[in-house]
Structure 1
């Protein structure tokens, strides 16, 4: 049933006849708005993560105006509101530390301001999850507008993928195979437009997951940022959110367990980023829906990987994905594995949204009978080294290392690794297992993207380009290699990773989903009894709050007080 104007949430601010509403209306007049601009119209908050230090969102100033155009066209009143730009490139010690701050800000801003619905402008890795987490908790109609992927990189006749080729060519620089001048020359060709990484990294993964979950308009995840379709998507999103407000089409009305499973299924068939796992767990828990590591692994085992993209063992980039049919075609391709009755922001079912979509290049979006690999791109490992789980992107690993036993070389911290990694005396062989401690949610803090440990220089010079690497860290979605991540519990809280010593044998069995430390139980007990927690480094501010209330990787790295629970009451207006 369609709302009446007096039922709008913003009516409490602007539509009643009292002193407080007089002040609210007077302030609108102060900004040059007349009654005709806002009276009886839904107020749409446009939450913009633009910043001069957000290169992936450099176009958001313009896109916000294009969203406003759609809101005006549909009879709404748009108000642009800046929110924390969680920038992957510049925020230290890690952007993941601030995802929860963005989620908290989003939730409180939506609740405290006179808005009836919101457009969430994000894309760079943590902005999408943070915005959606906050919107789920706030509960108002919301639509996600993704930043879109940047154009392909180019350098000396080679096609470059952001992130992935930076790691690749940096290894060649360290090995002495390219010069410092060539490395410097590559800087200008790696990132050629605004927009997020054009590899199948975290940003691309989460844009696709949001669409599969129903949180954004059809085809939105595939449109490049510089394509003319992207501003049209902005205007379409602005128009649709106005209708969603009138329809009271809230996340709670739309999302079901099937929505969450669809997001996971799309992520696995895409060969998406390992970072999607804690993000999707946190998002699901905000909605009061179930999702754990076992569900990820079960879905991954059941769905084939059909996106032939880097940094998996694939060939193409997101611009090619768009030309091949984009996200609608991709979702149509994997339709047998999706719940097509799940609802989306369009008000229709996912099946209706993708009906008629075609794949135009079957080498980019592969047929189900000819996938990149028979199962999804991510796998969840358990065992004596990861009793609460760990994650591997086996679609981006050297296949020969997926079953491996080797001796550990242990780095107690990131600084320790940097100090010793290239030491000619490091006792390392191609069979060694590199282990990094102190990089989890508490140890980092914030799970830095340190999990793609560099290959030691003398191994690079010997031609080695992949080794088994284990940590409680994350890694960039653009990273690759046989990297085992998110080990839980983390070393900082005394998980088994804290007890590993140089020379200990570690066994990886990807097919069997096992990660085991081959040390006798009584020896591990002796080590555990001698272990002491590291001293606390942060005593104040947001980081202290983070350390006090954040969860482990297997539960989404969210704050315990922000997970699903009774709704916070609407603010009183005095």
Structure 2
């Protein structure tokens, strides 16, 4: 018996049927599989702005296949809108709210299956976490990427170009007229950001996980293909319910490993390490995602390259075959016997896929012609990062793979940004931004603006930035984030002082401060933990329960015993 049948059949369940009929559902509707549509549509996020139209096509497909769709709303914050102010404290914690709200609605209404509609940084992993937690039939469907904007600084612009341009303006490299022109031309339409940031990384990895129909990750937001995928998804979810293909038959150790290899092969956002860790945690998989990234990075070549690593954007990737072609080119390294939401294995999907456009070779390469012979994401460790530090060598110049410089320290993002714009950061500096971890931030804010300002001021090839916070997927330059233990927990990053020498060595996978163990121990003795920045509301609770970035920054329920 399906989940919905438990509350919609029998005389004793008239209450539930009467409640649904109050909204126009019919007796026949309530005899069919009931499919929830978790829709993160809003007018706050361009990546979600087209999801009303996509949702309607999903409903069409569900009806066509003999199911009954019931749509509900899901919150969704835009990382870009939250960057650089108090709102960024809420972004990573919102991932937990997305997951918990979908879990709640699915259980309250006993849906037989779910279609998950969302496109952006924390919404995608939050939806996948909910799906893994529920273990009912689910398909994830994003709204697709937006088109690139006017050409600026050698590539099509996007909203992040404005931040880089502001750094250029502050350094006198462009005029105010050139700067202002970007405002109306950088984002020509809706969709997830046009570059390979966290949003498009996670949408792409959802396809690599088998949770999205082929091409579901990358078909443009404004395309007919996106609408067609909506209807196909609606039809397919009814089939998954009938065949009882639940999420944990799709999200398995094998599919997680495939997603990690895909991330390495395309030099995806460093945030993917944390998000895949969280998804594996919710699926109750006995798998160490962080260690797998570390192990596989040396044996997985980079075979796709997009902005911020080069000028080509997500729609260029789509026209060059997108994720289906990347998975086909990578298939000898993948576990292709895994199940997917097509109801077929990854091997069958690859064999049967029909490409809409001829290969260009601009974005997708083959294993015998890679962009690089190791993955685009790397895990670093050392006396500055005993647990972990995450970097993205696939997105910055190889001359920076070994960088030694002088620390200049800041205890929050805003102070660092002011110093960069004021010209206080110089060539050879390693900018240290701390107390921005999951607990200390709270919410592990992105150091997006700081990196963009360094780029804009011409310092991208002569400085580095390390933090216990995170980075946007669009950042490039020499950076290391997710440093753990974080500063607020007394991690070594809290003990660094201005003038200390710091060495970042990507080839050796190391991050060290050139200070003796004895001196670090003496500094630790004198260190005092800061007071929480928030003591009330959701963030007050999150500060107390946030887990380590090395463990996916999921809520650590063991900490409840300490409260």
Question: Above 0.5 in TM-score?
Answer: yes
In the other structure, the counterpart of 1:25 is 17
The SS at the match of 1:28 is helix
How far apart, in 2, do the equivalents of 1:512 and 1:369 lie? 25
In the other structure, the counterpart of 1:259 is 255
- The 3 A distance-change label for structure 1 pair 483 and 50 is same
- The 3 A distance-change label for structure 1 pair 552 and 271 is same
Pairing partner for 2:469 from 467, 473, 476:
473
CA contact (8 A) 1:439 1:450 kept: no
CA contact (8 A) 2:155 2:312 kept: no
The SS at the match of 2:483 is coil
CA contact (8 A) 1:380 1:390 kept: yes
How far apart, in 2, do the equivalents of 1:279 and 1:382 lie? 20
In the other structure, the counterpart of 1:373 is 372
Pairing partner for 1:538 from 534, 538, 545:
534
Ranges in structure 2 where 5+ consecutive residues have no aligned partner: none
- The 3 A distance-change label for structure 1 pair 506 and 463 is closer
In the other structure, the counterpart of 1:402 is 401
- The 3 A distance-change label for structure 1 pair 456 and 235 is closer
- The 3 A distance-change label for structure 1 pair 238 and 22 is same
CA contact (8 A) 1:309 1:316 kept: yes
CA contact (8 A) 2:165 2:456 kept: no
The aligned runs of 1:316-355 (5 Å cut-off) are: 316-355=312-351
CA contact (8 A) 2:209 2:250 kept: no
How far apart, in 2, do the equivalents of 1:421 and 1:29 lie? 60
Paired positions, count: 550
CA contact (8 A) 1:164 1:311 kept: no
Q: Would you say 1:249 and 2:242 are equivalent positions?
A: no
Q: Please give the per-residue CA displacement for 1:446-469, whole angstroms capped at 9, x wherever unaligned.
A: 011116634778x96677655111
In the other structure, the counterpart of 1:13 is 7
How far apart, in 2, do the equivalents of 1:157 and 1:468 lie? 21
In the other structure, the counterpart of 2:88 is 93
Q: Would you say 1:138 and 2:144 are equivalent positions?
A: no
CA contact (8 A) 1:330 1:365 kept: yes
* Structure 1 stretch displaced more, 157-166 or 367-376: 157-166
The SS at the match of 1:153 is coil
- The 3 A distance-change label for structure 1 pair 130 and 462 is closer
The aligned runs of 1:174-213 (5 Å cut-off) are: 174-213=170-209
In the other structure, the counterpart of 1:77 is 68
* Structure 1 stretch displaced more, 84-93 or 59-68: 84-93
Deviation at 1:255, TM superposition (A): 2.7
CA contact (8 A) 2:451 2:477 kept: no
* Structure 1 stretch displaced more, 459-468 or 354-363: 459-468
Q: Please give the per-residue CA displacement for 1:504-558, whole angstroms capped at 9, x wherever unaligned.
A: 1111111000001110111111110111111122222211221121111110011
Q: Please give the per-residue CA displacement for 1:36-77, whole angstroms capped at 9, x wherever unaligned.
A: 2222x1000000001111221111111111100000000000
Q: Would you say 1:453 and 2:450 are equivalent positions?
A: yes
In the other structure, the counterpart of 1:567 is none
Pairing partner for 1:51 from 39, 42, 62:
42
How far apart, in 1, do the equivalents of 2:349 and 2:160 lie? 32
In the other structure, the counterpart of 1:66 is 57
How far apart, in 2, do the equivalents of 1:517 and 1:347 lie? 51
- The 3 A distance-change label for structure 1 pair 404 and 449 is same
In the other structure, the counterpart of 2:294 is 297
- The 3 A distance-change label for structure 1 pair 466 and 348 is farther
How far apart, in 1, do the equivalents of 2:283 and 2:558 lie? 11
Pairing partner for 1:233 from 229, 254, 259:
229
Deviation at 1:316, TM superposition (A): 0.9
How far apart, in 2, do the equivalents of 1:115 and 1:43 lie? 6
The SS at the match of 1:302 is coil
CA contact (8 A) 2:167 2:421 kept: no
How far apart, in 2, do the equivalents of 1:236 and 1:466 lie? 49
In the other structure, the counterpart of 1:412 is 411
- The 3 A distance-change label for structure 1 pair 204 and 463 is closer
